[in-house]
A and B are shown apart, each in its own frame.
Chain A
Amino acid sequence: MKQVALPYQEHEHKGLLKALKLQRMASFSKGMLFLLPSIILFSVFLFYPLGRTLYLSFFLTNSSGQTTVFVGLENYMNIFNSPIFLKSLQSTLLFVLYTVPGTILVSLFLAIIANEKLKGVGLFRTMYASTMGISTAAASVFWLFLFHPSIGWLNQLLKLLGADAIGWLTNPDWALFSVSIATIWMNSGFTFLILLGGLQSIDQYLYESANIDGAGYFYKLRRITLPMLSPTLFFVITVSFINAFQTFGQIDMLTRGGPQNETNLIVYSIYQDAFMNYQFGTASAQAMILFFIILILTLIQFKLGERKVHYQ
C-alpha cells in the first residue's frame, strides 16, 4: 500500500511492478515450500495412483496387471451395460442411505444422553465409544455368529418369540439390511466420540442464559445444541458418507458380495474384478466412477452444508 502512495513516474512504476512480482514470487515459493511435504505425500500416495488408475481404465490387462490391449472407453461402456455394476451402484446408494443417517442418529442420541452430568456416566461413555476399538474383522466375526442361520443368537431369539427364522445374510431381501446394522454398530463408536467432543465444547453460558429465559429441554436442544454442534455434525456426515462409499471389510467377511450380488458394494466389486478376476482395466474404470461420485457428493455437501453450518 505504501508504494502506491509514492509519486508517479514511468520508470519507477516499471521497477515497482518488478519488485511486486519478485515479492509475489518469493511469497509463492515460500508457500510452496510449506506445502511441499503434503504435495509430495499426496503425489506419491494419491495423485500418482489416480493417474495410473485412469491410464489402466483404458486398457485390458494380463493377470499381473500389465496392460495388453488398448480399448479406449470400452471398459466404461461395458460396466455401464453390466447388470452387476448397475446393481452394485444401486446397492451402494442404498447402503449409504441406510448407514449414514442410521449411524448419525444413533450416535447423536447416545452422545446427547451421555453428555448429561450424572454419576457413573463415564462408564457409559466408554461403553458407547468402545466399538471404535474393535477391528472390522473382529466385529464381523462377532456379527457372523449373531447372524448364523440356525445357531445364531438372533434366530434363536426369534424362535423363542415363536417367529420364523430369517436368513440374515443369505436372504437377498435381508442381507444388505443386516450388513448395514452391523456397520452402524461398528461406526457408531467413532461418530459418538466426535459428537460427544463437539457437545462438550459448547459454551455453558448459552445454556445458562437460556435457562434464565425459561427455555425447555427440547427447545434448548433444537436452538442451541444442534446449531452449535453443526460444524462437528458436518464433519461427521462428510466422513461417514465417504466411509460408507468405501466400505469393504465387513462385506468381505460377512457376505463376500452375495447373495445374488445384493451386497456387492462398489469397492468390493472393484476388489473382485481386480484381484480375483484380474480385470484391472474394468476395475480401474469402476474406481474412476466411484471417485467422481464421491467428488460430486462432497462438493454438493460443501455447497449446501456450509450455508447451514454455524461456526462460532
Chain B
Amino acid sequence: MKKIAVILFGLFILLVGCQTNDSPETSEEAAAEESTPEEVESEPNEPVEVVFWHAMGGALQEALDQIVDQYNASQDAVVVTADYQGTYDEALTKFNTIAGTDSAPTMMQVFEIGTKSMINSGGIEPIQTFVDAEGYDMSQLEENIINYYQLDDTFYSMPFNSSTPVMYYNKDAFDAAGLDADTPPATYQEVEAASKQITESNPEMKGFALQAYGWLYEQLLANQGALLMNNDNGRSDTPTEVGFTEEEGKSVFEWVERMINDDTFANYGTNGDNMIAGFFAEDVAMFIASSANVRNVVDSAPFEVGVGFLPYPEDKDREGVVIGGASLWMMNGKPEEEQLAAWDFMKYLQTPEIQGAWHASTGYFAINPAAYEQPIVLETYEQIPQLQVTVEQLQSTVSSFATQGALMDMIPEGRRITETALETVYNGGDVDTAYQSVVDQINAAIEQANRARGE
C-alpha cells in the first residue's frame, strides 16, 4: 500500500507541476503587455508593438510571416508580432477566454462564421470607427467580400484572406478516360457520369471525393441558391430554424449516395489531408476543397491538375459561392496608439502589392481587385492559370442572401452536426434519417443558442 501511496503522490506532484507551470507564463505575458503602453508613453521613439493572433499554419504561415517581416522592415513606428494560435476554432476559443483582459491581442484573425460570435463577445472595436475617422475608402475592395462583412452598414472587421471552394481534378486521368480535360464537369450529374467513366477506364481509381466538412455542405447549398438559416440567412433577424427546403438539403446527400451506389465515391471521412494525399497518389480523380490549396496542389501533384467551379444540381441555376476565409478584428480596451498602429497594418495588408503577393503565393484571392494588375500576379497566372478559376468563380457569383452567407453564432456546431450526417451517408446510412437528424439537431442548437443569449 505504501508503494502505491508513494507512486500516487509522485503522480500528483507531476500533475500539480504541470498545472502550476501555466500560471507564471500567463502572468508574464500579461506583465509584458501591461508594460508596453508605458514604454511607449515614456519614449516616443520606441516603436509601438502590435500583437497579431492568426490561424495560418504550414505554408500559409510562411507566406504571412513574410508579409509581416516586410511590413516591419518598411517603417520604424510599428512592430507587428504575429502569433500562430492554432486552427480557427482553437484561436477563437483562446480569445473567448481572455476577451476584454490585458492578455488579449491587439488584433486577431477570425474565420467568417465567428463574425457573430465576435460581435457578441463585447471585446472588439468595429473598424468602422477607424474607417469613419480617416475617411478610408472601403469600396475599393471586392464587392462580394464587402457584401459578407458589411452588417447594417457597419464594417466590424477588416476582410483579409478569402477563399471559395473549387473542384480539383486530375487532367491526366481525364485524358486516359477519354474525357475532355479542359472542361471540368459542372453539375452533379456530370460529375457522376465522369466518375463512372474514370472508374471504368481505371478500376484502381475512384471518381470523386467529398470531404465530410460542414463548410462544403454550406457552399453546395448556397451554389443552388438555398439559405442555410431562415430570416434571410440571419441577415434580417436572428435565425430561428434552418432555411433550406427538404429538396435542397437532401440534394447533396442523394448525390453522394448515387456515387456510392455506382462505386465511384472515395470516402476520406473528415480528413482533408488524407484526401489530398489520396489525390496525389492517384486514388481519386476529383475532389472539392478550398481554393487556398491551389498553389500547393498544383505545385505538388505529379500530374497535371485542373481546377473547376463548384458543381450544382442540373435542374438548378448556379448561384455562386459564399466567401470563406477570415477577417481581422480590432480589440477594444487597448491604448489608442496601439489600435492606430494595428489599423495602419490592416491598411497595409489591403494594398494591391501585398494582396497580389498573397494571392500568388497561396490561392486566397485578392480582396483588392487592383491586385490582379500587379506584375507578380500576371507572372504567376502564366505559370499557374488555375489560380484564376477561383477569381472567376467569385466574380460570377450572384449577390443574394444565399451567397452572402449565414450569420449565426452556432454555425461551428451546425457544421459538426452536418459532418456526422455526411459520414453516416458515406458509410451506407439512410439518407432520409441522416437528413432528418441534421434538421432536428441544428434546429435544437439554434434554439439553445438563442436562449443562452438570455435576451
Q: Which chain A residues have a beta carbon within 8 Å of chain B's beta carbons? A: 38, 41, 45, 60-65, 68-69, 148-151, 167, 169-172, 194, 231-232, 234-235, 255-256, 258-261, 272, 275-279, 281, 311
Contact = CB atoms under 8 A, between A and B. Distances in A.
Contact of B270 (A65, A171, A258, A279): A258
A278 B96 contact: yes
B454 interface: yes
Given A64-B97, A275-B93, A278-B96, A260 B424 contact: yes
B453 A260 contact: no
B271 interface: yes
A235 B283 contact: no
Interface string B1-36: 101100100001001100100000000000000000
Contacts of B445: 277
Given A62-B453, A170-B269, A277 B423 contact: no
B453 A148 contact: no
Contacts of B70: none
B346 to A, nearest CB: 24
Given A63-B120, A64-B121, A149-B274, A171 B16 contact: no
A192 to B, nearest CB: 15
Contacts of A151: 277-278, 281
Interface core residue of B3, B120, B281 (most chain A CB under 10 Å): B3
Interface residues of B, number: 45
A60 B427 contact: no
Nearest to A201: B3
Given A45-B19, A151-B281, A258 B269 contact: yes
A276 B451 contact: no
Contact of B423 (A38, A62, A260, A311): A260
Interface core residue of A150, A172, A278 (most chain B CB under 10 Å): A150
A311 B1 contact: yes
B218 interface: no
B117 interface: yes
Contacts, number: 110
Contact of B419 (A149, A258, A278): A258
B409 interface: yes
Contacts of B3: 231-232
Given A150-B277, A276-B412, A65 B96 contact: yes
A149 B454 contact: no
Interface in B173-190: none
A272 B452 CA distance: 17
Given A45-B19, A60-B452, A64-B96, A276 B423 contact: no
A60 B271 CA distance: 32
20 contacts: A41-B16, A65-B97, A68-B452, A68-B453, A69-B451, A150-B274, A150-B277, A170-B271, A170-B426, A231-B3, A235-B4, A258-B419, A259-B423, A275-B93, A276-B89, A276-B93, A277-B413, A279-B448, A281-B452, A311-B1
Contacts of B4: 231, 234-235
Contact of B99 (A64, A172, A259): A64
B109 interface: no
B96 A60 contact: no
A148 B3 CA distance: 43
B212 interface: yes
B268 to A, nearest CB: 6
Contact of B452 (A41, A234, A279): A279
Interface string B400-411: 000000000110
Contacts of A281: 452
A140 to B, nearest CB: 13
B250 interface: no
Given A150-B281, A277-B412, 14 more contacts: A45-B15, A64-B97, A68-B454, A149-B268, A151-B281, A170-B267, A170-B427, A255-B269, A259-B427, A260-B429, A272-B416, A276-B416, A277-B410, A279-B452
Contacts of B278: 149-151
Nearest to A165: B283
